[in-house]
Amino acid sequence: MDAWLGALPGGLDARQIPAATLARRHPAPKLCGRAARAEGTAPLCYADLVMTVDHATAPAIDSEVLDALQERMERIIAGDSPNAGRFCGYCYARLDLEEQRCPVCGRSTLDVTPVARIPRDALRVYNAHRRKMRLWVNLFAYLGILLAVLLFIVMIVFLPNPWVWFSVPVLFFGSWYLANLLGGGLGAYLGGRQGVPLRAARWRELLERRAAGENLDT
């Protein structure tokens, strides 16, 4: 990548040339990235290269930020991780003491002041997704167990001895297998389909409240 940037004639600095002009005159290997998605166009390869050279200074898309932080926020909600320290003032990702730019959303601590705790209203955004996931996963897991029990009853009624004894391992293994198959598969899929837009809507509401100067519950 550095060799490609240094190949410009006249000793020009690639960072001083508009991205569209440079991409047209000096095509680079095609890479997909946030710049292309934000523009809604085909991948603008130079923008990806500049983001890499400049250490990804452009802010990330909120949907990517929410996905990246979901598991971390769930640990804080469950009490497995402390809600104390130094956090990004925009997305509430945890920051090291020396970090000057959020590694998740890309915003500088000079532009957005870090906070010492994550507001409970922000945690509720992620908990909405978590609750939807738990609802659908548990629902389909119990459905899998129910199907295994029904199969167990059918085997007891219709299988002759000694084949009827196979109903016992079918009950235990079938309950485990169907619960994981339906809960972890179909349940997780439906939970994500409902949880992601719900989380995004709650996040937009929180941003609006924060922009209006409301003091979020900490």
| Distance from C-alpha of 183 to C-alpha of 144, rounded to nearest angstrom | 8
- Say yes or no to pLDDT of 35 above 60: no
DSSP 8-state symbol, 214:
-
Quick one: pLDDT at residue 55? Answer: 37
Banded model confidence at residue 84, pLDDT cuts 50, 70, 90: very high
pLDDT digits 0-9 by tens, 117-130: 999 999 999 999 99
Quick one: pLDDT at residue 218? Answer: 53
Quick one: pLDDT at residue 58? Answer: 53
Quick one: pLDDT at residue 82? Answer: 94
Quick one: pLDDT at residue 59? Answer: 63
Quick one: pLDDT at residue 105? Answer: 93
Quick one: pLDDT at residue 33? Answer: 45
Question: Which residues, in sequence order, are CB contacts of 76 under 8 Å at separation 6+?
Answer: 82, 83, 118, 123
- Say yes or no to pLDDT of 43 above 70: no
Per-domain residue ranges of the chain: 2-53, 120-211
